């Protein structure tokens, strides 16, 4: 089973993403757009695990104690940058989220999962390139949303998700909920 730990994004903000995606879809056909109902904030991607390991992950997350915080989603950008963009994202401001991601990474490492090699960069993925890169036309059209305010929301829980890959895209299912 393929699993990850994430924050759920409220429906109002996902609707705002969908509106921007619909607007920008017209400017490109190089993007695979993330379905609004699938949008989340990944804190720790664990990957493929045997079913029995889910209980180990659950035990490690049960003892988590973290203070709730507010996440603000504003602006858009591209990874790795605008010269050769492969991912289109919305920006995320949540000062303690990086610390939470590090804590989750440490807990998962203690139970035998690989530690992240890259620094946590809070963002919400809105689209990925179909091939090698996103069109310059999308970069230009997206500049209109550089400072766009999608909204803020309280983060008072995280979820363990199961991800099932299908030809139509990944399907996510919440396995467990953990209050902060």
The answer to whether 17 and 148 have CB atoms below 8 angstroms apart is no
pTM of the model: 0.93
Q: In whole numbers, what is the pLDDT of the chain averaged over residues?
A: 96
Whether the per-residue pLDDT at 168 is higher than 80: the answer is no
Instruction: Examine the residue annotation and report whether 123 is marked as an active-site residue of this protein.
Output: yes
Element (H, E) at 100: helix 97-110
Task: Render pLDDT for 120-143 as a digit per residue (tens, 0 to 9).
Answer: 999 999 999 998 999 999 999 999
Whether the per-residue pLDDT at 179 is higher than 90: the answer is yes
- Catalytic annotation, pick one of 14, 40, 44, 107: 40
Instruction: Examine the residue annotation and report whether 58 is marked as an active-site residue of this protein.
Output: no
Task: Render pLDDT for 30-78 as a digit per residue (tens, 0 to 9).
Answer: 999 999 999 999 999 999 999 999 999 999 999 899 999 999 999 999 9
Residue 169: CB atoms within 10 Å: 13
Q: Which domains does the chain have, with CATH numbers?
A: 2-179 (3.90.1140.10)
The answer to whether 81 and 154 have CB atoms below 8 angstroms apart is no
- Catalytic annotation, pick one of 6, 123, 124, 158: 123
């Amino acid at each position: 089973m393929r699993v990850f730990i994430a924050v759920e994004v409220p429906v109002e903000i996902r609707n705002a993403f969908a509106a921007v995606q619909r607007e920008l879809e017209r400017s490109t056909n190089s993007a695979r757009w993330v379905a609004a109902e699938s949008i989340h904030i990944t804190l720790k991607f664990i990957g493929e695990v045997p079913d029995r390991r889910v209980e180990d992950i659950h035990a490690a997350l049960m003892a988590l104690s973290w203070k709730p915080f507010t996440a603000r989603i504003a602006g858009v950008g591209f990874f790795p940058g605008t010269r050769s963009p492969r991912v289109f994202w919305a920006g995320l401001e949540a000062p303690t989220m990086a610390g939470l991601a590090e804590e989750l990474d440490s807990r998962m490492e203690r139970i035998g999962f690989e530690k992240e090699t890259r620094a946590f960069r809070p963002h919400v993925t809105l689209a990925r390139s179909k091939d090698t890169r996103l069109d310059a036309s999308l970069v230009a059209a997206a500049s209109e949303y550089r400072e766009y305010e999608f909204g803020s929301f309280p983060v008072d829980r995280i979820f363990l998700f199961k991800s099932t890959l299908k030809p139509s895209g990944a399907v996510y299912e919440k396995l467990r909920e953990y209050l902060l």
